[in-house]
Amino acid sequence: MQFASQSGLLGLARRLLPLLLFMAACVCAQAQEVPLMRQVKAAYLYKFAGFVEWPEGSFVRPDSPLVIGVMGADALAEQLEQTVAGHSANGHPLQVKKLKKNEAPGNVHILFLGALDKASLQDVIAATRNQPLLTVSDNEEAHALGSIVNFVLADDRLRFEVALKPASLARIRISARMLSAAVKVQGGAT
């Protein structure tokens, strides 16, 4: 009887093995998707720096660093540091600044807003409105509150949309090349 139960378990294991392998592959694919998404966001943030013009006085010197602040997304900040290491945009070396929730952005040129609650998003966007700062989010709520660029999934790819009105209020100019790459461009300048 013991032999029969062992062979029955072996048969069950053989039938379940493909299902277990499939489930493990799905879990691994999902785990890899998150780092890949971070890499793509970091690459976009790096590229955005070269397609935006900031108003005069945004940089202390012509060779001052272009600072990309990241709030609410430490893993993205770490990926971005790797991505921009040794690179520059329009003659400005690139730097990454990790910001804590509710920390004043200070002298940053691009600000990524990650996992923040609605009240924090409202506070940060209100505090940075009319400053020469490209705000970027991956949250429709932040975009509705006034962030300039928002990451979205379109056709299973990470893309972005741009809101021109807050860009105009920030006195930054986004190149036509960047706008043509956007999946959606909202509103005109005021």
The number of helices, as runs of H, and strands, as runs of E, in the chain is: 6, 10
Could you give the count of Cα atoms lying within 13 Å of 37 in the half-sphere of its Cβ? 17
The tens digit of pLDDT for each residue in 17-50 reads: 443 333 433 333 333 346 888 899 999 999 999 9
Q: Is residue 47 part of a domain?
A: yes
In a domain? residue 180: yes
The pLDDT of residue 34 is: 65
User: For 100-145, how does the pLDDT look when each residue is reduced to its tens digit (9 = 90+)?
Assistant: 887 778 889 999 998 888 888 888 888 888 889 999 998 888 877 8
Q: What is the pTM of this model?
A: 0.78
CB burial of residue 77 (10 Å; 0-12, 13-18, 19+)? buried
Q: Is residue 25 part of a domain?
A: no
Q: Please tell me the distance from the alpha carbon of residue 80 to that of residue 35, in angstroms, as a whole number.
A: 12
Distance CA 40, CA 169 (A): 28
What gap in Å lies between CA 101 and CA 117, rounded to an integer? 10
DSSP state, 114? -
> Is the residue at 82 inside a domain?
yes
> What is the extent of the structural domain holding 93?
39-186
pLDDT over 90 for what percent of the chain?
Answer: 46
